[in-house]
Amino acid sequence: MAPDLQAAAGKVVSVNPATGEILGEFACGSADEVRAALARARRAQPAWFELGCRRRTALLRNFQRLLAQRKTDVARLITRETGKPWVEALTTELAVVLDAARFYIENACRLLRDEPLAHGNVAMKQKVGRILREPCGVVAIVSPWNYPFSIPATQALAALVAGNAVILKPSEFTSLVALELKDLLDRAGIPGDVFQAMPGDRATGAALVSSEIDKLIFTGSVSTGKAIAQAAATRLLPVILELGGKDPMLVLEDADIEVASSGAVWGAFVNAGQACLSVERCYVQHNVCDRFVEACVRKAGKLRVGNGMDPETDVGPMIHERQLHIVEQHVEDARERGARLMTGGSRLAGLGANFYAPTVLADVNHAMRIMREETFGPVLPIMSFGDEEEGLALANDSEYGLSASIWTGDRARGERLARRIAAGSVLINDAVCSFGISEAPHGGIKASGIGRTHGRFGLQEMVRLKYVAAERLPRMKKMWWYGYNQSFARWMEAFLDVQFARSTKRRVEAALQSLEYFLRAGSRRL
């Protein structure tokens, strides 16, 4: 079914991309329903926060246990609604969420507690400072279809454990998985109004963005991200934007080609290439390039494409035909401009409408759309480079900056190059999996977005910092209050010299002057 039909007439329709079977239909949340959901969330949030971190993490533990019990059913539901192999649903969705829950259960209360703040400024030493971490209030999550469970669930767990209420607007293509997440959180004991899921289309998303929510976590395409940033700017709504990527893979001549080629094939074809962190551009040092291409072609040819419910399937269908059409256009453009098609390059119509063969292209260059725009499909475009500097320049020549990978036998070399890559994360001798490392911050630079989710930095985004300072000597007037005069100015000069003058002699002299002025000027405070 065409995506436009999927969102027709105020409803969204969930379709199995492998078979075309309709799995469910859902009315789109209207602007009024968004407002009502927000009012419920707003009412429920203070009590949720007052419950305290320990009780909230206990509920997260319930959720984790339930999810561990229901993992097979949840993974199969993800496969039915997205097409991805259910083995992959287990590794890239279930495992990620279970471990994210582990991270918050183990760390949230420590990371969220009040923190004493020491003051280095001598004039402020008599204050006792403290950092408080308060929930934002109601956090909205607007999410995509490609990881319909792990993206919203990891974000929701962080928001919830920090004491926020959450409203999730899932992708129009994956309402069922979102409702499953809602069911799991309900059963775990999270109050119904504290976590709400509202199926809907982009209009539902837009209504949520323009409502009085306190924070937005948006994951999706760059174009939608830009529209959302503009809408958010009208009322300075704080947003996290997790947007698209065009991740480079840099294979150096000292890499293990057998391992790197397996990594490239998995990194490019996982989730049929529909992963924000997937390998979208592959650069291989000249003298190992032929060997690398040959290995990738051989391994891509062995991949079994089919219905993801079959445990032997490596690559499932794409989400819908519109996405497949983008892939076709990119491959066609590359071939017209001189790329060599090494394998794949066509639909697998015998399997169904949304299947595309794992494709390897060689001799690509940066004039081709496939090296500039996000393809989001099962294509591995490979380009050779001469020296390290050229490889780095190619990797950084992109409007995106989500993540990158470097493949080398020399870890120190990899780490040195990683510092020069323009991306939010860099893996050395692996790709994609940083999303599954619960401690690691996830997010990009340049067009790939703003802000971070996951780990302690993601948790930090779910709170407002408040600084509170109290006087140790509340009965003392402050020196900088009114009572300005010549001797105050002299005292201030001496006081600054005590701290910042270059010569020790001047600092000692200034200390004596400062004391003298302090005693004289102190009595003249207003």
Q: Which residues are catalytic?
A: 242, 276
Q: Judged by CB under 6 A, does residue 172 bind ligand NAD?
A: yes
CB within 8 Å of 113: residues ≥ 6 apart: 53, 133
What single DSSP character describes residue 111?
H
- Which residue in the set 62, 107, 126, 221 belongs to the binding site for ligand NAD (CB under 6 A)? 221
Amino acid at 440: A
Nearest distance from C-beta of residue 349 to ligand NAD, angstroms = 23
Nearest distance from C-beta of residue 377 to ligand NAD, angstroms = 11
- Which residue in the set 14, 79, 171, 354 belongs to the binding site for ligand NAD (CB under 6 A)? 171
Q: Judged by CB under 6 A, does residue 228 bind ligand NAD?
A: yes
CA distances from 526 to 442, 478, 483, 486, 523 (A): 52, 10, 6, 15, 9
Residue nearest to ligand NAD (CB): 205
**Cα separation, 101 vs 274, whole angstroms:** 25
**In this complex, which beta carbon is closest to ligand NAD, that of residue 245 or of residue 344?**
245
Considering only the stretches 21-29, 79-87, 169-177, 308-316, report the one whose residues sit in contact with ligand NAD under the rule CB under 6 A: 169-177
Q: Judged by CB under 6 A, does residue 61 bind ligand NAD?
A: no
- Which residue in the set 88, 214, 242, 363 belongs to the binding site for ligand NAD (CB under 6 A)? 242
Q: Judged by CB under 6 A, does residue 88 bind ligand NAD?
A: no
Total residues contacting ligand NAD by CB under 6 A comes to: 31
- Which residue in the set 39, 51, 227, 492 belongs to the binding site for ligand NAD (CB under 6 A)? 227
DSSP annotation string for 77-94: HHHHHH---HHHHIIIII
Q: Judged by CB under 6 A, does residue 243 bind ligand NAD?
A: yes
**Cα separation, 260 vs 354, whole angstroms:** 29
- Which residue in the set 214, 247, 314, 374 belongs to the binding site for ligand NAD (CB under 6 A)? 374
CB within 8 Å of 260: residues ≥ 6 apart: 251, 292, 407, 429
Considering only the stretches 96-104, 131-139, 197-205, 493-501, report the one whose residues sit in contact with ligand NAD under the rule CB under 6 A: 197-205
Which helix (H) or strand (E) segment holds residue 446: the answer is strand 445-446
**In this complex, which beta carbon is closest to ligand NAD, that of residue 79 or of residue 323?**
323
**In this complex, which beta carbon is closest to ligand NAD, that of residue 112 or of residue 209?**
209
What x-and-dash track marks residues 441-480 binding ligand NAD by CB under 6 A? ---x----x-------------------------------
SS3 (DSSP) at 216 = strand
- Which residue in the set 202, 325, 335, 413 belongs to the binding site for ligand NAD (CB under 6 A)? 202
DSSP annotation string for 327-382: HHHHHHHHHHTT-EEEE--SB-TTT-TT-B--EEEES--TTSGGGTS---SSEEEE
Q: Strands 165-169 and 195-197: what pairing?
A: parallel
**Cα separation, 318 vs 331, whole angstroms:** 15
**In this complex, which beta carbon is closest to ligand NAD, that of residue 79 or of residue 171?**
171
**In this complex, which beta carbon is closest to ligand NAD, that of residue 139 or of residue 255?**
139
- Which residue in the set 199, 244, 345, 414 belongs to the binding site for ligand NAD (CB under 6 A)? 244
**In this complex, which beta carbon is closest to ligand NAD, that of residue 148 or of residue 345?**
148
**Cα separation, 408 vs 421, whole angstroms:** 15
**In this complex, which beta carbon is closest to ligand NAD, that of residue 53 or of residue 177?**
177
- Which residue in the set 224, 285, 354, 398 belongs to the binding site for ligand NAD (CB under 6 A)? 224
Q: Judged by CB under 6 A, does residue 440 bind ligand NAD?
A: no
**In this complex, which beta carbon is closest to ligand NAD, that of residue 315 or of residue 432?**
432
Task: Please report how many Cα atoms fall inside a 13 Å half-sphere around the Cα of residue 507, on the Cβ side.
Answer: 7
In degrees, rounded to 5, the angle at the alpha carbon of residue 16 between the alpha carbons of residues 310 and 89 is 50
Q: Are 196 and 45 a contacting pair, CB within 8 Å?
A: no
Nearest distance from C-beta of residue 23 to ligand NAD, angstroms = 17
Q: How many CB atoms lie within 10 A of CB 4?
A: 8
> 374: closest CA among 265, 223, 239?
223
> 137: closest CA among 111, 161, 166, 170?
166
Q: Are 270 and 92 a contacting pair, CB within 8 Å?
A: yes
Nearest distance from C-beta of residue 445 to ligand NAD, angstroms = 11
Q: Judged by CB under 6 A, does residue 402 bind ligand NAD?
A: yes
Q: Judged by CB under 6 A, does residue 220 bind ligand NAD?
A: yes
Nearest distance from C-beta of residue 400 to ligand NAD, angstroms = 9
What x-and-dash track marks residues 133-152 binding ligand NAD by CB under 6 A? ---------xxxxxx---x-
- Which residue in the set 206, 251, 360, 521 belongs to the binding site for ligand NAD (CB under 6 A)? 206
**Cα separation, 277 vs 405, whole angstroms:** 10
Q: Judged by CB under 6 A, does residue 245 bind ligand NAD?
A: yes
Q: Strands 359-362 and 340-343: what pairing?
A: antiparallel
Nearest distance from C-beta of residue 228 to ligand NAD, angstroms = 5
**In this complex, which beta carbon is closest to ligand NAD, that of residue 30 or of residue 221?**
221
> 479: closest CA among 441, 446, 514, 440?
514
**In this complex, which beta carbon is closest to ligand NAD, that of residue 88 or of residue 374?**
374
Nearest distance from C-beta of residue 47 to ligand NAD, angstroms = 29
Amino acid at 428: I
**Cα separation, 442 vs 330, whole angstroms:** 27
* Interface residue list for ligand NAD (CB under 6 A): 142-147, 151, 169, 171-172, 201-202, 205-206, 209, 219-221, 224, 227-228, 242-245, 276, 374, 376, 402, 444, 449
